[in-house]
């Protein structure tokens, strides 16, 4: 119980520091941003608010100026169930990529997600 309290306090402290020190988003023309928004419309990030690895991933998303839907897998039972049933495990962060005509891709690990997003949109 004490460990959970400490972890939450630290996690929310890191989240607050992230909000205060977040870099500017990548600038694009309105046309380019519309194209990027269309490409990210089929992406969802399953995350916990106070998870340091989720914060790292959200920071990368913000830095790249991406509009990716987020779902809180800790407080949203439906999101947690989707993650477990369709993704195979309750581990965050997890980026769900839905592409027409293909099975959904469930990408775990903050470094892998950040690298994929940087390569595709950076």
β-strands 94-97, 105-108 pairing: antiparallel
Q: Mean pLDDT over all residues of the chain?
A: 91
pTM, 2 dp? 0.87
| Model confidence pLDDT, tens digit, residues 27-49 | 899 999 999 999 999 999 999 99
Closest CA to 12 of 53, 51, 54, 62: 51
CATH annotation of 2-22+30-121: 3.40.30.10
What's the CA gap between 31 and 17, in Å, rounded? 32
Tokens (6 digits) for 45: 């990030």
Query: CA–CA distance from 68 to each of 7, 8, 38, 40, 92 (Å)?
Result: 26, 24, 10, 6, 15
Domain boundaries, the chain: 2-22+30-121
- b/e map of 49-73 (b: 16 or more CB within 10 Å)? ebbebbbbbbbbbbbbbbebebbeb
| Model confidence pLDDT, tens digit, residues 3-13 | 778 777 777 88
Q: For 78-83, which contacts have Cβ atoms below 8 Å and span 24 or more sequence positions?
A: 79/46, 82/46, 83/46
């Amino acid at each position: 119980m004490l460990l959970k309290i400490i972890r939450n306090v630290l996690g929310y402290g890191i989240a607050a520091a992230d909000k205060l020190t977040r870099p500017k988003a990548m600038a694009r023309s309105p046309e380019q941003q519309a194209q990027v928004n269309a490409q990210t419309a089929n992406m969802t990030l399953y995350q916990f608010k106070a998870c340091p690895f989720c914060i790292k991933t959200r920071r990368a998303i913000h830095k790249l100026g991406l509009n990716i839907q987020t779902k809180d897998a800790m407080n949203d039972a439906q999101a947690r169930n989707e993650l477990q049933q369709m993704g195979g495990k309750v581990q965050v962060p997890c980026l769900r990529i839905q592409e027409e005509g293909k099975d959904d891709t469930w990408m775990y690990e903050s470094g892998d997600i950040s690298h994929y997003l940087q390569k595709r949109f950076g």
